[in-house]
Chains A and B, each alone.
Chain A
Amino acid sequence: MALGSSTSTLKSDIETAYNDAKEAGSEDGADPGAVIAALAEGVAQAIHDYFLTATVTTEVTIDTGQSDTAGGSTTNDGSGSGIGDPDSGTGGLT
């Protein structure tokens, strides 16, 4: 799952955090500090959960000079690709 697939959850989690704050703030004797702390926790958790779903893609350059077992080494750069996808177990963001 990439970030684009997580935006609806991000939105709903932020919305829930604000609605919870609204509800808590409307109660008698509500503690503004506690309401704000809970709101901040909810928003931060929403962002954290969203960002951990990111997929990373890279273009790779392999340095010239990679040695081989015969004693030689490469004379030009190589190329490759990188993928970090938490869903496929290939990495990503942590």
Chain B
Amino acid sequence: MPLSAGHPTLKDEIETAYNDAKEAGTEDGADPDAIIAQLAEDIGNAIHKYMETALVTTFVTAFGGQNSAGAPTATAVPAAVVAAPGTGSGTGDASGAGAGLAFGSPDVNTLISDIETANQDAKAAGSEDGADPGDIISTLATGLKDGIHKFALTAEVTTDVTIDAGQTVSGYMMVSGPSTAPVPAATVTGTGSGEGSLS
């Protein structure tokens, strides 16, 4: 499921979080801190869920250098090496085989905590005499931005990799009469995996 499919859900869940906070705030004896904590948890979880819907695609460079063996016609020198770099592609879809984006629970909790802090700071600023709504909103936006950005950078990326065919394999030699001759070879499609991060 791509981010474009997760985006409407993100909007719906943020809307639900705000509406729940509004409803909770209208109740007698409402606890603002508890409402903010719940709001932060709901929004943090919504952002987490949304980000994990991402499809990852990468362009892969294969460095070459692997040893090769087992060619039946390489009767003189049976060992070779993948002598040229190659290309490939990586994909990750967390809704599929497991590769894709993942976040650790501590990082999700930090996101929730950062959102809660941003809202608490806005509440505190708003309760001061002569509070400037524009300044409060700007500070809130900065707090939310910082929390979201810090969280996004914690993503653990995994990909399933396909290596394109065609890397030259050099070194195989065959017996050819009284001498030897090279056995031409090139790789066929390979597989692999990738691990990384976002920036």
Contacts and interface: CB of A to CB of B under 8 A. Distances in A.
B152 to A, nearest CB: 6
B76 interface: no
Given A15-B141, A68-B185, A78 B63 contact: yes
B161 A82 contact: yes
A92 B57 contact: yes
Given A80-B62, A82-B59, A68 B188 contact: yes
Interface string B50-77: 1100111111111111111111111000
Interface residue SS majority, chain A: mixed
A11 B145 contact: yes
Given A59-B195, A71-B73, A44 B10 contact: yes
A11 B69 contact: no
Residue from B62, B101, B153 having most chain A Cβ neighbours under 10 A: B62
B199 A55 contact: yes
Contact of A90 (B3, B18, B58, B140): B58
Contact of B57 (A57, A77, A94): A94
A63 B57 contact: no
A18 B67 contact: no
Interface residues of A, number: 62
Contact of A47 (B148, B193, B199): B148
B4 interface: yes
A16 B169 CA distance: 58
Nearest to A19: B137
B68 A10 contact: no
Interface in A50-79: 50-52, 54-64, 66-79
A29 interface: no
Contacts of A90: 58-59
16 contacts: A14-B144, A39-B18, A41-B11, A51-B3, A56-B197, A66-B66, A68-B80, A68-B187, A74-B190, A78-B63, A78-B82, A78-B163, A78-B190, A82-B58, A82-B61, A82-B161
Interface of A: 2-4, 7, 10-12, 14-15, 18-19, 22, 32-33, 36-37, 39-41, 43-45, 47-48, 50-52, 54-64, 66-84, 90-94
Interface of B: 2-4, 7, 10-12, 14-15, 18-19, 22, 47, 50-51, 54-74, 78, 80, 82, 88-90, 101, 133-134, 137-138, 140-142, 144-146, 148-149, 152-153, 157, 159, 161, 163, 169, 172, 183-188, 190-199
